[in-house]
A and B are shown apart, each in its own frame.
Chain A
Amino acid sequence: MSASVTTINVAITATENLLHYGFMRRALIAALLVGLAAPSVGIFLVQRRLALIGDGLGHIAVTGVALGLVLNRAPVPIALITAVTGAIGVELIRAHGEQSAEIALAILFYGGIGGGVVLASQAPSGSRNLTQYLFGSIATTSSGDLATFAVLAVVVVCTAVVLGGALFSVSNDDEFARASGLPVMRLNLLLAALSAFTVVVSMRIVGVLLVSALMVVPVAAAQLVARSFRATFVIGLAIGVAVSLSGVVVSFYADTPPGGTIVLFAIGVFAVLLVASNVARLARRR
Protein backbone atom coordinates (compact mmCIF):
# COMPACT_ATOMS: atom_id res chain seq x y z
CA MET A 1 0.00 0.00 0.00
CA SER A 2 2.60 2.52 1.13
CA ALA A 3 4.84 1.46 -1.75
CA SER A 4 2.13 2.28 -4.28
CA VAL A 5 1.41 5.60 -2.56
CA THR A 6 5.10 6.42 -2.85
CA THR A 7 5.07 5.49 -6.53
CA ILE A 8 2.06 7.74 -7.13
CA ASN A 9 3.74 10.56 -5.22
CA VAL A 10 6.89 10.17 -7.29
CA ALA A 11 4.79 10.23 -10.47
CA ILE A 12 2.93 13.35 -9.33
CA THR A 13 6.18 15.10 -8.46
CA ALA A 14 7.65 14.14 -11.82
CA THR A 15 4.55 15.47 -13.62
CA GLU A 16 4.73 18.70 -11.61
CA ASN A 17 8.38 19.04 -12.54
CA LEU A 18 7.53 18.58 -16.21
CA LEU A 19 4.60 20.97 -16.18
CA HIS A 20 6.69 23.53 -14.36
CA TYR A 21 8.35 24.34 -17.67
CA GLY A 22 6.29 26.35 -20.17
CA PHE A 23 8.03 24.70 -23.13
CA MET A 24 7.11 21.26 -21.79
CA ARG A 25 3.47 22.24 -21.39
CA ARG A 26 3.45 23.42 -24.99
CA ALA A 27 5.35 20.33 -26.15
CA LEU A 28 2.83 18.02 -24.46
CA ILE A 29 -0.14 19.84 -25.98
CA ALA A 30 1.50 19.73 -29.42
CA ALA A 31 2.15 16.00 -28.91
CA LEU A 32 -1.49 15.42 -28.00
CA LEU A 33 -2.61 17.26 -31.16
CA VAL A 34 -0.33 15.34 -33.50
CA GLY A 35 -1.16 12.07 -31.73
CA LEU A 36 -4.83 12.64 -32.56
CA ALA A 37 -4.45 14.08 -36.06
CA ALA A 38 -1.92 11.66 -37.58
CA PRO A 39 -3.87 8.39 -37.16
CA SER A 40 -7.15 10.15 -38.12
CA VAL A 41 -5.75 10.73 -41.60
CA GLY A 42 -3.49 7.70 -41.62
CA ILE A 43 -6.34 5.18 -41.39
CA PHE A 44 -7.73 6.32 -44.76
CA LEU A 45 -4.28 6.45 -46.35
CA VAL A 46 -3.55 2.90 -45.21
CA GLN A 47 -6.90 1.64 -46.49
CA ARG A 48 -6.21 3.34 -49.83
CA ARG A 49 -2.83 1.59 -49.92
CA LEU A 50 -1.10 4.96 -49.96
CA ALA A 51 0.53 4.55 -46.57
CA LEU A 52 3.73 6.28 -47.61
CA ILE A 53 2.22 9.38 -49.19
CA GLY A 54 2.60 11.28 -45.90
CA ASP A 55 6.32 10.66 -46.16
CA GLY A 56 6.38 12.37 -49.55
CA LEU A 57 4.40 15.33 -48.26
CA GLY A 58 6.87 15.64 -45.40
CA HIS A 59 9.68 15.80 -47.95
CA ILE A 60 7.89 18.60 -49.80
CA ALA A 61 7.32 20.48 -46.53
CA VAL A 62 11.10 20.57 -45.99
CA THR A 63 11.32 23.17 -48.76
CA GLY A 64 8.66 25.26 -47.00
CA VAL A 65 10.55 25.09 -43.70
CA ALA A 66 13.81 26.07 -45.41
CA LEU A 67 12.10 28.98 -47.19
CA GLY A 68 10.93 30.22 -43.79
CA LEU A 69 14.49 29.96 -42.42
CA VAL A 70 15.97 31.82 -45.40
CA LEU A 71 13.36 34.56 -45.25
CA ASN A 72 13.77 34.63 -41.46
CA ARG A 73 10.03 34.23 -40.97
CA ALA A 74 7.99 31.74 -38.97
CA PRO A 75 8.40 28.52 -40.97
CA VAL A 76 5.05 27.01 -39.91
CA PRO A 77 2.76 29.08 -42.20
CA ILE A 78 5.16 28.78 -45.13
CA ALA A 79 5.40 25.02 -44.64
CA LEU A 80 1.60 24.89 -44.53
CA ILE A 81 1.31 26.58 -47.92
CA THR A 82 4.06 24.39 -49.42
CA ALA A 83 2.61 21.16 -48.04
CA VAL A 84 -0.96 21.88 -49.15
CA THR A 85 0.21 22.92 -52.64
CA GLY A 86 2.37 19.80 -52.79
CA ALA A 87 -0.48 17.56 -51.62
CA ILE A 88 -2.85 18.87 -54.28
CA GLY A 89 -0.09 18.47 -56.89
CA VAL A 90 0.50 14.88 -55.78
CA GLU A 91 -3.20 14.06 -56.02
CA LEU A 92 -3.52 15.60 -59.48
CA ILE A 93 -0.45 13.75 -60.71
CA ARG A 94 -1.87 10.50 -59.35
CA ALA A 95 -5.25 11.12 -60.95
CA HIS A 96 -4.02 12.13 -64.40
CA GLY A 97 -0.63 10.56 -64.91
CA GLU A 98 -0.52 6.82 -65.26
CA GLN A 99 2.72 4.95 -65.80
CA SER A 100 4.76 8.11 -65.33
CA ALA A 101 3.02 9.09 -62.06
CA GLU A 102 5.45 7.27 -59.81
CA ILE A 103 8.47 8.95 -61.37
CA ALA A 104 6.78 12.36 -61.24
CA LEU A 105 6.09 11.85 -57.54
CA ALA A 106 9.67 10.78 -56.87
CA ILE A 107 10.95 13.96 -58.53
CA LEU A 108 8.54 16.07 -56.51
CA PHE A 109 9.47 14.42 -53.20
CA TYR A 110 13.23 14.40 -53.64
CA GLY A 111 13.12 17.84 -55.23
CA GLY A 112 11.39 18.96 -52.04
CA ILE A 113 14.02 17.61 -49.70
CA GLY A 114 16.96 18.51 -51.98
CA GLY A 115 15.71 22.05 -52.44
CA GLY A 116 15.03 22.31 -48.72
CA VAL A 117 18.53 21.30 -47.68
CA VAL A 118 20.19 23.63 -50.20
CA LEU A 119 17.92 26.56 -49.30
CA ALA A 120 18.45 26.04 -45.57
CA SER A 121 22.22 26.18 -46.00
CA GLN A 122 21.77 29.76 -47.21
CA ALA A 123 19.73 30.77 -44.13
CA PRO A 124 21.25 33.39 -41.81
CA SER A 125 21.15 30.87 -38.97
CA GLY A 126 22.65 28.11 -41.15
CA SER A 127 21.08 24.70 -41.66
CA ARG A 128 21.44 23.63 -38.02
CA ASN A 129 17.89 24.78 -37.30
CA LEU A 130 16.54 22.56 -40.05
CA THR A 131 17.25 19.41 -38.05
CA GLN A 132 14.69 20.26 -35.36
CA TYR A 133 11.97 20.49 -38.01
CA LEU A 134 13.05 17.21 -39.59
CA PHE A 135 13.11 15.13 -36.41
CA GLY A 136 11.32 17.23 -33.79
CA SER A 137 12.48 19.15 -30.76
CA ILE A 138 10.67 19.64 -27.45
CA ALA A 139 12.07 23.08 -26.72
CA THR A 140 10.86 24.99 -29.76
CA THR A 141 7.04 25.02 -29.79
CA SER A 142 5.80 28.63 -29.47
CA SER A 143 2.33 29.73 -28.38
CA GLY A 144 1.68 30.92 -31.93
CA ASP A 145 2.62 27.46 -33.26
CA LEU A 146 0.25 25.87 -30.77
CA ALA A 147 -2.67 28.00 -31.94
CA THR A 148 -2.01 27.00 -35.56
CA PHE A 149 -1.58 23.33 -34.64
CA ALA A 150 -4.79 23.33 -32.58
CA VAL A 151 -6.86 24.77 -35.44
CA LEU A 152 -5.38 22.34 -37.98
CA ALA A 153 -5.72 19.30 -35.71
CA VAL A 154 -9.34 20.11 -34.89
CA VAL A 155 -10.11 20.47 -38.61
CA VAL A 156 -8.40 17.14 -39.35
CA VAL A 157 -10.11 15.14 -36.60
CA CYS A 158 -13.56 16.69 -37.12
CA THR A 159 -13.42 16.15 -40.88
CA ALA A 160 -12.31 12.55 -40.39
CA VAL A 161 -15.27 11.95 -38.09
CA VAL A 162 -17.97 13.90 -39.98
CA LEU A 163 -16.97 12.74 -43.48
CA GLY A 164 -15.69 9.39 -42.23
CA GLY A 165 -18.32 7.39 -44.14
CA ALA A 166 -17.51 9.03 -47.46
CA LEU A 167 -13.74 8.92 -46.93
CA PHE A 168 -14.08 5.25 -45.99
CA SER A 169 -16.08 4.47 -49.13
CA VAL A 170 -13.55 6.19 -51.41
CA SER A 171 -10.54 4.63 -49.67
CA ASN A 172 -12.10 1.18 -49.57
CA ASP A 173 -13.51 0.93 -53.11
CA ASP A 174 -12.87 3.87 -55.37
CA GLU A 175 -14.91 2.43 -58.27
CA PHE A 176 -17.96 1.72 -56.16
CA ALA A 177 -17.73 5.22 -54.68
CA ARG A 178 -17.67 6.73 -58.18
CA ALA A 179 -20.62 4.57 -59.24
CA SER A 180 -22.48 5.83 -56.13
CA GLY A 181 -22.03 9.38 -57.39
CA LEU A 182 -19.66 10.45 -54.61
CA PRO A 183 -17.37 13.38 -55.54
CA VAL A 184 -14.34 11.09 -55.49
CA MET A 185 -11.80 13.57 -56.85
CA ARG A 186 -12.83 16.23 -54.33
CA LEU A 187 -12.72 13.74 -51.48
CA ASN A 188 -9.25 12.64 -52.54
CA LEU A 189 -8.09 16.26 -52.67
CA LEU A 190 -9.60 16.79 -49.22
CA LEU A 191 -7.72 13.78 -47.86
CA ALA A 192 -4.52 15.13 -49.42
CA ALA A 193 -5.09 18.53 -47.78
CA LEU A 194 -5.75 16.87 -44.41
CA SER A 195 -2.49 14.92 -44.79
CA ALA A 196 -0.67 18.20 -45.47
CA PHE A 197 -2.25 19.77 -42.37
CA THR A 198 -1.05 16.81 -40.32
CA VAL A 199 2.49 17.18 -41.66
CA VAL A 200 2.45 20.78 -40.43
CA VAL A 201 0.98 19.87 -37.02
CA SER A 202 3.84 17.40 -36.62
CA MET A 203 6.58 19.93 -37.43
CA ARG A 204 7.71 20.83 -33.93
CA ILE A 205 7.41 17.56 -32.03
CA VAL A 206 7.64 14.63 -34.44
CA GLY A 207 9.32 16.31 -37.38
CA VAL A 208 8.31 16.27 -41.04
CA LEU A 209 10.54 13.29 -41.90
CA LEU A 210 8.99 11.08 -39.22
CA VAL A 211 5.34 12.17 -39.28
CA SER A 212 4.42 9.49 -41.79
CA ALA A 213 5.34 6.87 -39.18
CA LEU A 214 2.81 8.37 -36.79
CA MET A 215 0.15 8.28 -39.52
CA VAL A 216 0.77 4.63 -40.32
CA VAL A 217 2.20 2.73 -37.32
CA PRO A 218 -0.56 3.39 -34.72
CA VAL A 219 -3.15 2.34 -37.33
CA ALA A 220 -1.11 -0.72 -38.29
CA ALA A 221 -0.89 -1.66 -34.60
CA ALA A 222 -4.61 -1.07 -34.02
CA GLN A 223 -5.71 -3.26 -36.94
CA LEU A 224 -3.89 -6.20 -35.34
CA VAL A 225 -6.40 -6.26 -32.49
CA ALA A 226 -9.50 -4.53 -33.91
CA ARG A 227 -12.31 -6.28 -35.74
CA SER A 228 -13.88 -3.24 -37.36
CA PHE A 229 -12.85 -0.03 -39.11
CA ARG A 230 -14.37 2.03 -36.33
CA ALA A 231 -12.49 0.15 -33.61
CA THR A 232 -9.27 0.53 -35.61
CA PHE A 233 -9.87 4.29 -35.72
CA VAL A 234 -10.49 4.61 -31.96
CA ILE A 235 -7.61 2.33 -30.93
CA GLY A 236 -5.30 4.00 -33.48
CA LEU A 237 -6.02 7.42 -31.96
CA ALA A 238 -5.46 6.07 -28.44
CA ILE A 239 -2.10 4.59 -29.45
CA GLY A 240 -1.16 7.80 -31.29
CA VAL A 241 -1.84 9.93 -28.22
CA ALA A 242 -0.19 7.49 -25.80
CA VAL A 243 3.06 7.19 -27.75
CA SER A 244 3.24 10.93 -28.49
CA LEU A 245 2.84 11.96 -24.86
CA SER A 246 5.12 9.28 -23.45
CA GLY A 247 7.69 9.95 -26.19
CA VAL A 248 7.86 13.62 -25.23
CA VAL A 249 8.18 12.81 -21.52
CA VAL A 250 10.95 10.27 -22.10
CA SER A 251 12.79 12.55 -24.48
CA PHE A 252 12.76 15.23 -21.76
CA TYR A 253 14.41 12.95 -19.20
CA ALA A 254 16.65 11.01 -21.58
CA ASP A 255 17.56 14.05 -23.69
CA THR A 256 16.69 12.30 -26.95
CA PRO A 257 14.97 13.83 -30.01
CA PRO A 258 11.19 13.47 -29.44
CA GLY A 259 10.33 12.46 -33.03
CA GLY A 260 12.57 9.41 -33.03
CA THR A 261 11.54 8.49 -29.48
CA ILE A 262 7.82 8.66 -30.36
CA VAL A 263 8.29 6.57 -33.50
CA LEU A 264 10.27 3.91 -31.61
CA PHE A 265 7.50 3.77 -28.98
CA ALA A 266 4.89 3.35 -31.71
CA ILE A 267 6.89 0.52 -33.27
CA GLY A 268 7.25 -1.01 -29.79
CA VAL A 269 3.45 -1.00 -29.38
CA PHE A 270 3.11 -2.56 -32.83
CA ALA A 271 5.58 -5.32 -31.95
CA VAL A 272 3.88 -6.09 -28.63
CA LEU A 273 0.43 -6.27 -30.24
CA LEU A 274 1.79 -8.37 -33.10
CA VAL A 275 3.17 -10.95 -30.67
CA ALA A 276 0.06 -10.78 -28.46
CA SER A 277 -2.36 -11.24 -31.36
CA ASN A 278 -0.39 -14.20 -32.71
CA VAL A 279 -0.23 -15.82 -29.27
CA ALA A 280 -3.98 -15.30 -28.87
CA ARG A 281 -4.62 -16.83 -32.29
CA LEU A 282 -2.48 -19.87 -31.47
CA ALA A 283 -4.22 -20.24 -28.11
CA ARG A 284 -7.64 -20.20 -29.80
CA ARG A 285 -6.59 -22.96 -32.18
CA ARG A 286 -5.62 -25.34 -29.40
Chain B
Amino acid sequence: MNVIAVHDGQFGYRGHVAVRADLQVDAGEFVALLGPNGSGKTTLMKGVLGLVERVSGTVELFGRPLREFHDRSLIGYVPQRQTAAGPIPVTVRELVRSGRLARKGLVKRRTRLDDAAVADAIDAVGLGDKAGAPVSTLSGGQQRRALMARALAGGATVLLLDEPLAGVDQANQEALADVLGVLVRRDAAVTVVVVLHELGPLEPLVTRAVCLDAGAVRFDGPLETAPTALLHLGHDHDPHGGDPHVGRPNRPRIGLMP
Protein backbone atom coordinates (compact mmCIF):
# COMPACT_ATOMS: atom_id res chain seq x y z
CA MET B 1 0.00 0.00 0.00
CA ASN B 2 1.15 3.54 -0.70
CA VAL B 3 1.60 5.33 2.57
CA ILE B 4 2.60 8.48 0.69
CA ALA B 5 1.35 9.29 -2.80
CA VAL B 6 2.15 12.56 -4.55
CA HIS B 7 0.69 12.92 -8.04
CA ASP B 8 1.94 15.75 -10.25
CA GLY B 9 2.72 17.69 -7.08
CA GLN B 10 3.93 21.25 -7.41
CA PHE B 11 4.94 22.87 -4.15
CA GLY B 12 6.25 26.28 -3.29
CA TYR B 13 5.70 29.61 -1.65
CA ARG B 14 3.29 32.42 -2.50
CA GLY B 15 2.20 30.78 -5.74
CA HIS B 16 5.76 30.26 -6.90
CA VAL B 17 6.64 26.63 -7.67
CA ALA B 18 9.87 25.46 -6.01
CA VAL B 19 9.66 21.73 -6.69
CA ARG B 20 7.67 19.37 -8.92
CA ALA B 21 7.45 15.68 -8.14
CA ASP B 22 5.59 12.41 -8.53
CA LEU B 23 6.36 10.21 -5.58
CA GLN B 24 4.80 7.04 -4.24
CA VAL B 25 6.23 5.44 -1.13
CA ASP B 26 5.13 1.98 0.04
CA ALA B 27 4.98 0.77 3.61
CA GLY B 28 8.35 -0.54 4.75
CA GLU B 29 10.47 1.49 2.33
CA PHE B 30 13.47 3.54 3.47
CA VAL B 31 13.68 6.42 1.02
CA ALA B 32 16.48 8.97 0.86
CA LEU B 33 15.67 12.30 -0.79
CA LEU B 34 19.03 13.44 -2.07
CA GLY B 35 20.23 16.54 -3.84
CA PRO B 36 22.20 19.75 -3.50
CA ASN B 37 21.03 22.79 -1.60
CA GLY B 38 18.04 24.39 -3.18
CA SER B 39 17.07 21.26 -5.10
CA GLY B 40 13.68 21.20 -3.37
CA LYS B 41 14.08 18.19 -1.04
CA THR B 42 12.87 19.99 2.06
CA THR B 43 10.05 21.73 0.17
CA LEU B 44 8.89 18.36 -1.16
CA MET B 45 8.88 16.87 2.34
CA LYS B 46 6.98 19.87 3.69
CA GLY B 47 4.59 19.60 0.76
CA VAL B 48 3.78 16.02 1.75
CA LEU B 49 2.97 17.27 5.26
CA GLY B 50 0.94 20.25 4.04
CA LEU B 51 3.40 22.75 5.52
CA VAL B 52 4.02 24.60 2.26
CA GLU B 53 1.67 25.73 -0.45
CA ARG B 54 0.55 23.07 -2.93
CA VAL B 55 0.25 24.91 -6.21
CA SER B 56 -1.17 21.89 -8.05
CA GLY B 57 -1.42 18.10 -7.93
CA THR B 58 -2.61 15.81 -5.15
CA VAL B 59 -1.10 14.40 -1.95
CA GLU B 60 -2.47 11.30 -0.24
CA LEU B 61 -1.39 9.80 3.07
CA PHE B 62 -2.50 6.24 3.79
CA GLY B 63 -4.80 6.43 0.78
CA ARG B 64 -6.66 9.55 1.94
CA PRO B 65 -6.35 13.05 0.53
CA LEU B 66 -4.18 15.21 2.81
CA ARG B 67 -7.12 17.40 3.83
CA GLU B 68 -9.12 14.38 4.99
CA PHE B 69 -6.23 12.64 6.70
CA HIS B 70 -6.69 13.21 10.41
CA ASP B 71 -4.73 10.39 12.01
CA ARG B 72 -1.60 12.50 12.26
CA SER B 73 -0.11 10.35 15.03
CA LEU B 74 0.80 7.86 12.27
CA ILE B 75 3.29 10.42 10.94
CA GLY B 76 6.42 11.34 12.87
CA TYR B 77 8.12 14.49 11.61
CA VAL B 78 11.62 15.58 12.55
CA PRO B 79 12.06 19.11 11.20
CA GLN B 80 15.46 20.52 10.37
CA ARG B 81 16.56 22.39 13.48
CA GLN B 82 19.96 23.50 14.67
CA THR B 83 18.53 23.58 18.16
CA ALA B 84 15.39 22.33 19.85
CA ALA B 85 15.66 24.95 22.61
CA GLY B 86 13.71 28.19 22.88
CA PRO B 87 14.02 31.15 25.28
CA ILE B 88 12.38 29.21 28.14
CA PRO B 89 13.97 26.05 29.55
CA VAL B 90 12.24 22.88 28.36
CA THR B 91 13.21 19.42 29.57
CA VAL B 92 13.71 16.55 27.16
CA ARG B 93 10.61 14.94 28.68
CA GLU B 94 8.49 18.06 28.11
CA LEU B 95 9.67 18.32 24.52
CA VAL B 96 8.96 14.67 23.78
CA ARG B 97 5.54 14.92 25.46
CA SER B 98 4.43 17.36 22.77
CA GLY B 99 4.78 14.42 20.36
CA ARG B 100 1.82 12.75 22.10
CA LEU B 101 -0.67 15.50 21.29
CA ALA B 102 -1.47 14.21 17.80
CA ARG B 103 -2.65 10.97 19.36
CA LYS B 104 -4.43 12.11 22.50
CA GLY B 105 -6.01 15.40 21.44
CA LEU B 106 -5.78 18.83 22.97
CA VAL B 107 -7.48 18.68 26.33
CA LYS B 108 -7.23 15.10 27.59
CA ARG B 109 -5.22 14.74 30.77
CA ARG B 110 -1.92 12.93 30.66
CA THR B 111 -2.20 9.24 31.53
CA ARG B 112 0.29 6.63 32.64
CA LEU B 113 0.21 5.30 29.09
CA ASP B 114 1.40 8.68 27.81
CA ASP B 115 4.18 8.80 30.38
CA ALA B 116 5.28 5.28 29.45
CA ALA B 117 5.29 6.09 25.70
CA VAL B 118 7.33 9.24 26.35
CA ALA B 119 9.82 7.33 28.50
CA ASP B 120 10.10 4.59 25.86
CA ALA B 121 10.74 7.12 23.09
CA ILE B 122 13.44 8.83 25.17
CA ASP B 123 15.05 5.48 25.95
CA ALA B 124 14.89 4.47 22.28
CA VAL B 125 17.11 7.40 21.31
CA GLY B 126 19.46 6.70 24.23
CA LEU B 127 18.69 9.82 26.25
CA GLY B 128 17.16 8.01 29.24
CA ASP B 129 19.59 9.63 31.68
CA LYS B 130 18.86 13.10 30.27
CA ALA B 131 15.03 12.98 30.42
CA GLY B 132 14.83 15.65 33.11
CA ALA B 133 17.59 17.86 31.72
CA PRO B 134 16.86 21.12 29.89
CA VAL B 135 17.21 20.59 26.14
CA SER B 136 19.53 23.60 25.93
CA THR B 137 22.15 21.75 28.00
CA LEU B 138 22.39 18.96 25.39
CA SER B 139 24.82 18.87 22.47
CA GLY B 140 23.48 19.54 18.97
CA GLY B 141 23.47 15.83 18.17
CA GLN B 142 21.67 14.95 21.39
CA GLN B 143 19.06 17.64 20.67
CA ARG B 144 18.48 16.04 17.28
CA ARG B 145 17.93 12.72 19.06
CA ALA B 146 15.43 14.45 21.38
CA LEU B 147 13.52 15.69 18.30
CA MET B 148 13.56 12.13 16.99
CA ALA B 149 12.09 10.91 20.30
CA ARG B 150 9.34 13.53 19.98
CA ALA B 151 8.49 12.13 16.53
CA LEU B 152 8.41 8.57 17.90
CA ALA B 153 6.36 9.28 21.04
CA GLY B 154 3.00 9.25 19.25
CA GLY B 155 3.59 5.77 17.85
CA ALA B 156 4.24 6.87 14.26
CA THR B 157 4.74 4.23 11.58
CA VAL B 158 5.92 6.73 8.96
CA LEU B 159 8.92 8.88 9.82
CA LEU B 160 9.80 12.00 7.83
CA LEU B 161 13.23 13.31 8.76
CA ASP B 162 14.67 16.52 7.38
CA GLU B 163 18.49 16.49 7.38
CA PRO B 164 18.82 14.61 10.67
CA LEU B 165 22.59 14.30 10.26
CA ALA B 166 23.46 17.90 9.30
CA GLY B 167 25.81 19.49 11.82
CA VAL B 168 25.86 16.34 13.98
CA ASP B 169 29.12 14.73 15.10
CA GLN B 170 30.01 11.20 13.98
CA ALA B 171 29.04 9.49 17.25
CA ASN B 172 25.59 11.07 17.26
CA GLN B 173 25.13 10.32 13.55
CA GLU B 174 25.78 6.68 14.29
CA ALA B 175 23.47 6.78 17.31
CA LEU B 176 20.69 8.16 15.09
CA ALA B 177 21.35 5.50 12.45
CA ASP B 178 21.19 2.80 15.16
CA VAL B 179 17.82 4.09 16.37
CA LEU B 180 16.42 3.97 12.84
CA GLY B 181 18.01 0.54 12.22
CA VAL B 182 16.33 -0.91 15.32
CA LEU B 183 12.99 0.60 14.32
CA VAL B 184 12.94 -0.77 10.78
CA ARG B 185 14.19 -4.20 11.84
CA ARG B 186 11.61 -4.46 14.64
CA ASP B 187 8.64 -3.60 12.45
CA ALA B 188 8.75 -4.27 8.70
CA ALA B 189 5.88 -1.82 8.15
CA VAL B 190 7.82 1.19 9.47
CA THR B 191 8.44 3.58 6.60
CA VAL B 192 11.20 6.19 6.60
CA VAL B 193 11.67 9.14 4.26
CA VAL B 194 14.80 11.11 4.98
CA VAL B 195 16.16 14.28 3.39
CA LEU B 196 19.95 14.00 3.20
CA HIS B 197 22.81 15.83 1.60
CA GLU B 198 25.05 12.83 2.16
CA LEU B 199 24.22 9.27 3.09
CA GLY B 200 26.73 8.79 5.90
CA PRO B 201 25.90 6.00 8.36
CA LEU B 202 22.34 5.73 6.98
CA GLU B 203 23.61 4.20 3.71
CA PRO B 204 23.08 0.52 4.72
CA LEU B 205 19.45 1.25 5.66
CA VAL B 206 18.41 3.13 2.51
CA THR B 207 16.43 0.97 0.07
CA ARG B 208 15.60 3.65 -2.47
CA ALA B 209 17.10 6.93 -3.58
CA VAL B 210 15.14 9.84 -4.99
CA CYS B 211 17.58 12.40 -6.37
CA LEU B 212 16.42 15.95 -6.93
CA ASP B 213 18.05 18.83 -8.69
CA ALA B 214 16.75 22.31 -9.49
CA GLY B 215 13.26 21.48 -8.27
CA ALA B 216 12.70 18.22 -10.17
CA VAL B 217 13.29 14.49 -9.63
CA ARG B 218 16.30 13.32 -11.70
CA PHE B 219 16.47 9.73 -10.49
CA ASP B 220 14.17 7.43 -8.56
CA GLY B 221 15.18 3.83 -7.90
CA PRO B 222 17.29 1.44 -5.84
CA LEU B 223 20.28 3.10 -4.23
CA GLU B 224 22.72 0.72 -5.96
CA THR B 225 21.61 1.86 -9.41
CA ALA B 226 21.68 5.59 -8.69
CA PRO B 227 24.31 7.47 -10.74
CA THR B 228 27.16 8.29 -8.38
CA ALA B 229 27.22 11.86 -9.68
CA LEU B 230 23.77 12.37 -8.22
CA LEU B 231 24.64 10.86 -4.84
CA HIS B 232 27.38 13.29 -4.00
CA LEU B 233 25.87 16.61 -4.83
CA GLY B 234 25.60 17.94 -1.38
CA HIS B 235 29.05 18.95 -0.27
CA ASP B 236 28.23 22.61 -0.52
CA HIS B 237 26.04 22.10 2.50
CA ASP B 238 24.66 25.18 4.13
CA PRO B 239 23.81 24.53 7.78
CA HIS B 240 20.77 26.80 7.57
CA GLY B 241 19.41 24.72 4.71
CA GLY B 242 16.27 25.14 2.70
CA ASP B 243 16.44 28.08 0.31
CA PRO B 244 12.81 29.11 -0.14
CA HIS B 245 13.55 30.65 -3.51
CA VAL B 246 14.68 27.48 -5.24
CA GLY B 247 13.69 26.91 -8.82
CA ARG B 248 13.24 30.60 -9.57
CA PRO B 249 13.24 30.83 -13.38
CA ASN B 250 16.44 32.89 -13.65
CA ARG B 251 18.29 31.03 -10.97
CA PRO B 252 21.60 29.61 -12.24
CA ARG B 253 21.58 25.84 -11.91
CA ILE B 254 23.97 24.30 -9.48
CA GLY B 255 25.09 20.71 -9.31
CA LEU B 256 26.05 18.18 -11.90
CA MET B 257 23.29 18.06 -14.46
CA PRO B 258 23.78 15.25 -16.98
CB distance from A221 to the nearest CB of B (A): 12
In the bound assembly, the distance between CA atoms of A223 and B85 in angstroms comes to 13
Which residues of the other chain, B, contact A46 by a CB distance below 8 angstroms? Answer: 87-88
Count of A interface residues, CB-CB < 8 Å: 32
Q: Please name all residues of chain B whose beta carbon is closer than 8 Å to the beta carbon of A181 when the two chains form the complex.
A: 70, 72, 102
Please provide the 3 A-B residue pairs with the shortest distance between their CB atoms, ordered closest to farther.
Answer: A181-B72, A180-B102, A169-B98
25 interchain pairs, CB-CB under 8 A: A43-B88, A46-B87, A47-B86, A49-B87, A162-B107, A165-B97, A168-B94, A169-B101, A172-B95, A172-B98, A173-B84, A175-B51, A176-B150, A178-B49, A179-B50, A179-B51, A179-B75, A180-B72, A181-B70, A182-B106, A223-B87, A223-B89, A226-B89, A227-B132, A228-B94
Select A163's contact among B89, B102, B106, B160, beta carbons within 8 Å. B106
- Per DSSP, are chain A's interface residues mostly helix, strand or loop, or mixed? helix
Other A-B contacts than A172-B98, A231-B89, 4 sampled, CB-CB below 8 A, are A46-B88, A179-B49, A179-B75, A182-B106
* Residue in chain A with minimal CB distance to B107: A162
Choice from B75, B94, B106, B110 contacting A166 with Cβ under 8 Å: B106
Tell me the complex Cα distance, A162–B110, Å: 11
Contacts of A231 in B (CB 8 A): 89
CB-nearest residue of chain B to A167 = B106
Taking the complex as formed, is B138 at the interface, i.e. its CB lies under 8 A from any CB of chain A?
A: no
Count residues on chain B whose CB falls below 8 Å from chain A CBs.
35
In angstroms, how far is the closest chain B Cβ from the Cβ of A188?
A: 14
Verify A47–B88 contact, CB threshold 8 A: yes
A281 proximal to B (CB < 8 A)? no
Report B96-108 CB contacts with A as 1/0, cut-off 8 Å.
0111011000110
B interface residues with partner A (beta carbon < 8 Å):
14, 46, 49-51, 70, 72-73, 75, 77, 79, 81, 84, 86-91, 94-95, 97-99, 101-102, 106-107, 110, 132-134, 150, 154, 160
Please state if A168 and B134 are interface contacts (CB–CB under 8 Å). no
Residue of A nearest to B14 (CB): A98
Interface membership of chain A positions 171-191, coded 1 if the CB is closer than 8 angstroms to chain B and 0 otherwise? 111011111111100000000
How long is the Cα–Cα vector from A162 to B107 in the complex, in angstroms?
A: 6
Report A-chain residues with C-beta under 8 Å of the C-beta of B90: 172, 228-229
Q: Which of A168, A173, A219, A226 contacts B79 (CB 8 A)?
A: A173
Question: Of residues B81, B84, B88, B102, which shows the largest number of chain A Cβ atoms within 10 Å of its Cβ?
Answer: B88
Cα(A226)–Cα(B49), bound, Å: 35
**Residue from B50, B88, B98 within 8 A of A232 (CB atoms):** B88
Measured CB to CB, the nearest residue on chain B to A171 is: B86
| B88 & A223 in contact (Cβ 8 Å cutoff) | yes
A230-B79 in contact given A47-B87, A223-B87 (Cβ < 8 Å)? no
Chain B residues lying within 8 Å of A219, measured Cβ to Cβ, are 88
Closest to A186 in B: B106
